Structure 1
Amino acid sequence: MKTLARRIGFYVIAFWAAVSLNFLIPRLMPGNPVDIMLSKLAQHGPVTPATRHSIELLLGADSSQSLWSQYVSYLGQLVHGDLGVSVSLYPTPVSTVIAQTLPWTIGLIGISTVISFVLGVGLGTFAGWKRGSWLDSLIPVTTMFQSIPYFWLALILLYLFGSVWMISPLNGGYDVYTTSPGWNAPFVGSVISHGILPAATIVVSSIGGWMLGMRNMMVSTLAEDYIVTAEAKGLRPGRIMRTYAARNAVLPSVAGFAISLGFVVAGSIVTEAVFSYPGIGSALLNAVNANDYALMQGIFLVITLSVLGANLLVDLLYAVIDPRTRQRG
């Protein structure tokens, strides 16, 4: 229990530090969201000082307050779940923007990450167990795809399957002309057809790393004394591979998977930009371009929570996979 309490305490401190940086970084960037909003309002008539002050209060950038006062107000808003109002999508609340874009990113990037991890670790396990087989010759091919710049691979696949052979849609998350969002067959089918190519790009570009890492760890693990002992006892090869070798070899991959899973919420900005996918990565890119402090802070907060949560989950999962990591307080 003491070990668990120490870990949770560490993550609480890490979360506070991340929230503080989340507050400071956008304010150190050039530009001012209030001026951006005022420039939009000025197109419809003169803007009074009272209007400017109201917008400052609305966006949490009150110039009459010190930085410390703004920080305290920001923490108070977080406690009440108030993430502010988006400047670039005014008057839409930040929480609404995140709620609209986050499911797209989790659905695409999350599922693709899980598929690439499962396939990579599974193939790497067999490649390490059966050294010299055809799976070993497959590893250089997969790592070659990983070495190709991500945006270049996405553009190639988009050109081939979207323009030349016309198998996949070119952009978007669904067909906005023939379907409407909802739990109906046409919409779900459209979402799947629009997501296959971006998902395939992520899987093809990342499976090589999981496969190579797991294969190398399997080779190292198979040389350990407890594997030799298990073989000498006459245990079934399948049990040795799964229970003794793979269970220990997968630990580094689990740690890497936790980091990847945490950054799923951040989305792949390159993927969503190339395929014009309506995920949270595109929302973050638009927020940076528009100096939308509130939206940037909201997205960074969600990313922080996801990364810390994923790492905490893996810390707990490590104790289940490898009991040797448990410590008595």
Structure 2
Amino acid sequence: MNYFLRKLSFYAVALWAALTLNFAIPRLLPGNPVDILLAKLQQRGEAVTPETRKAYALLLGGDTSDPLWVQYWDYLKNLARGDLGVSVSYYPAKVSDVILTSLPWTVVLVGVATIIAAVLGVLLGAIVGWRPGTWLDSLIPSTTLLAAVPYFWLALILVYLLARVLGWFPLQGGYDVVLTPGWNGEFIASAIQYGFLPALTIVLASIGGWLLGMRNMMVSTLSEDYILTAEAKGLSPRKILRSYASRNAVLPSVAGFAISLGFVVSGSVITEQVFSYPGIGGRLLGAVTNNDYALMQGVFLFITLAVLGANLLVDLLYGLIDPRTRARA
């Protein structure tokens, strides 16, 4: 029990530190969101008065000319109420509405791609590590090479070959714009078709890391005494692979998978930009470009909660699975 209480206390402090950084980092950027919004109004020929500036400052969550401690206190109070403010980039939309509109696209795309890459990488890594030195082992450098290739370059290659040359998939977007979004077969089929290339990019770019990690753990596990004991008992190679070697070698991959799911919320900014995918990555890039403090803080908050939650889940599970972890803590 003390182990779990210590872990919860640590992550509570980590959450407070993350929220504080979430508040501070956007304000270190040059510019002022109120001034940016007023400049857009002036470009449309509308009059801007001190009263207008004050009204927009209050609308966006407080005047950024206030002392930082006042802004910080208002920021915490707004978070407690679930008020993330109004987005400058998508004014007058609320930050929560912008995020909730984009988040499902990213969670489905990156989440499914991450699961596929992890499962395939772990399975192939177990097979390759079980018999190192075979021709399958020689294919690993090609998969790790894909992991070293920049996302945008790989995405552009796939777009050119599969979309432009072969015409198998759409060039960009999240779905056919002539369709009305909804839970119907036609729209879901369109979303799958448009999301295939971005998902393929993520899978190809990340599968090498899973495969190499599992392969190395398998090679290390095969030298353990309990593997030799299982062989001495006359157990079949398939039984040893499934029940002894793979189950122990996969533990680091399970931890890495849980942490990777935490980063699913952040999406893949570059991939989403290349494919003009309506995910959270494009919203985050737009927020940074327009100094949209509220939207940046809202996106970072969701990312922080997802990553901390995934790490906490891994720590608690390891505490249950391996009693030695609790003893060392």
Write the distance in 2 (CA, Å) between the matches of 1:241 and 1:191: 39
> Map of 1:12-27 to 2, 5 A cutoff?
12-27=12-27
Structure 2 gap ranges (5+):
none
Partner SS for 2:69: helix
Q: 1:234 to 1:124 in 2, by over 3 A?
A: same
Amino acid at match of 2:100: A
> Map of 1:246-261 to 2, 5 A cutoff?
246-261=246-261
Write the distance in 1 (CA, Å) between the matches of 2:242 and 2:309: 28
1:69 equivalent in alignment to 2:57: no
Amino acid at match of 2:91: Y
User: Match for residue 196 of structure 2?
Assistant: 196
User: Match for residue 115 of structure 2?
Assistant: 114
Partner SS for 2:248: helix
- 1:251 Cα deviation after fit: 2.2
Sequence identity of aligned pairs in percent?
66
Does the 8 Å contact 2:89/2:292 carry over to 1? yes
User: Match for residue 143 of structure 1?
Assistant: 144
User: Match for residue 92 of structure 2?
Assistant: 91
- 1:323 Cα deviation after fit: 4.4
- 1:221-244: CA deviation from partner (whole Å, max 9, x where unpaired): 110111111221223323322232
Write the distance in 1 (CA, Å) between the matches of 2:46 and 2:204: 53
Write the distance in 1 (CA, Å) between the matches of 2:300 and 2:285: 12
User: Match for residue 221 of structure 1?
Assistant: 221
Write the distance in 2 (CA, Å) between the matches of 1:286 and 1:328: 45
- 1:129-163: CA deviation from partner (whole Å, max 9, x where unpaired): 12233421221221122222221111000100010
> Map of 1:53-64 to 2, 5 A cutoff?
53-63=54-64
Structure 1 gap ranges (5+):
none
Q: 1:63 to 1:156 in 2, by over 3 A?
A: closer
User: TM-score normalized by structure 2?
Assistant: 0.96
Q: 1:300 to 1:327 in 2, by over 3 A?
A: same
- 1:114 Cα deviation after fit: 0.8
> Map of 1:176-215 to 2, 5 A cutoff?
176-177=177-178, 179-215=179-215
User: Match for residue 169 of structure 1?
Assistant: 170
- 1:321 Cα deviation after fit: 4.6
Partner SS for 2:136: helix
- 1:274 Cα deviation after fit: 0.6
Write the distance in 2 (CA, Å) between the matches of 1:64 and 1:7: 38
User: Match for residue 102 of structure 1?
Assistant: 103
- 1:35-66: CA deviation from partner (whole Å, max 9, x where unpaired): 01111222342112111111111112414531
Write the distance in 1 (CA, Å) between the matches of 2:297 and 2:137: 45
Q: 1:126 to 1:324 in 2, by over 3 A?
A: farther
Does the 8 Å contact 1:150/1:270 carry over to 2? yes
Write the distance in 2 (CA, Å) between the matches of 1:90 and 1:235: 66
- 1:72 Cα deviation after fit: 0.6
1:239 equivalent in alignment to 2:239: yes
Partner SS for 1:278: coil
Write the distance in 2 (CA, Å) between the matches of 1:300 and 1:37: 22
Does 319-328 or 232-241 show the bigger shift? 319-328
> Map of 1:244-283 to 2, 5 A cutoff?
244-283=244-283
Partner SS for 2:167: coil
> Map of 1:122-137 to 2, 5 A cutoff?
122-137=123-138
- 1:328 Cα deviation after fit: 8.3
Amino acid at match of 2:28: L
Does 137-146 or 93-102 show the bigger shift? 137-146
Amino acid at match of 2:201: T
Does the 8 Å contact 1:26/1:297 carry over to 2? yes
> Map of 1:281-320 to 2, 5 A cutoff?
281-320=281-320
Write the distance in 1 (CA, Å) between the matches of 2:41 and 2:35: 10
Partner SS for 1:327: helix
Does the 8 Å contact 1:158/1:170 carry over to 2? yes
Does the 8 Å contact 1:175/1:190 carry over to 2? yes
Partner SS for 2:327: coil
Does the 8 Å contact 2:64/2:71 carry over to 1? no
Write the distance in 1 (CA, Å) between the matches of 2:66 and 2:286: 28
User: Match for residue 4 of structure 1?
Assistant: 4
User: TM-score normalized by structure 1?
Assistant: 0.96
